[in-house]
Amino acid sequence: MTDWTTADIPFLSGKTAVITGATGGLGYETALALAGAGAIVILTGRSDAKGLRAIEGICNRFPNALIAYENLDLASLASVADFARRFAASNEQLDLLINNAGVMALPKRQETTDGFEMQLGTNYLGHYALTAWLLPMLRRAKAPRVVNLSSLAHRSGAINFDDLQSRRSYRPWRAYCQSKLAMLMFSLELQRRSDAAGWGVHSFAAHPGYARTDLIPNGPGTNTLSWRVGRLLQPLISQSAAEGALPTLFAATSPAAEPGGYYGPNGFYELKGAPMPAKIVPQAKDFAAAAMLWDVSATLTGVSFDEIAAAA
């Protein structure tokens, strides 16, 4: 695993992949690699113009790529459900779902269409609902995989069930860390529930380390001392978006990736490097909290895995 690269991705002909937030950054690099391996890749995002440019870029690299773009706004449960309906209407099964899209540390509290705090709603709740809606298509595939993007920031996260939407107190980084902890807890809980219910879905989590993407320049605090110091050190402690996508691609495709696993870079503090098993902090392993988060998510979104599985 130490030297794992995109050259190690197996041939994926006939496999269908959906990637959220795939019009740039990590999602684009993930889509590019999967398309190059022969997969049918569906890029999703909020900007049709960016989607078309992404397709053009991938086709320039791989003229025979089997790719398409679909509009999907994870900050809208209606958009999530609509995408799932469109996908189900034209696809029998789904082999790979990569829940990649995200927003980071918005300076001021914002809300999604459904009234959720924006980071929790976009980074986590939208992906929870999307995965649930796509469960029937995942179950029809052979050894389907779901990869959920977490972050090193999960290590500082805590699930505040008393103020989950940060209405009483909003701090940008605290809300971001909570959302990324929620993604990791969701990934681990999904594997437990899949095993218990016999869904056959293999769940993984990954993080990119410190990858140079638009997510960071577009975040808050770009005039702070810590930001300026970080920019000076960036060449030493960061990696490209293509390198940052490797843990996701390993989790998505490698026979060595273990269901329920979490993968990140193998360098200092997991900032950069080739994929390896990543550190999971104790709060992410709290089974009771994960079960509570799952139930709260079902209530907030109105989407139940069990009901969707039973109706399929």
- Out of 28, 124, 128, 176, pick the active-site residue: 176
- 176 noted as active-site residue: yes
Amino acid at 229: V
Question: Bridge-partner residues for 42, per DSSP?
Answer: 18, 68
Q: Contact, 264 vs 270, CB < 8 A?
A: yes
Q: Is 58 helix (H, G, I), strand (E, B) or coil?
A: helix
Among the listed residues 118, 97, 116, 115, the one whose alpha carbon sits nearest the alpha carbon of residue 107: 118
Cα four-point dihedral sign 55, 57, 63, 64: negative
CA distance 250 to 274: 10
Q: Contact, 247 vs 206, CB < 8 A?
A: yes
Number of H helices, E strands in the chain: 12, 8
CA triplet 218, 224, 230: central angle to 5 degrees?
Answer: 75
Query: Known catalytic residues?
Result: 176
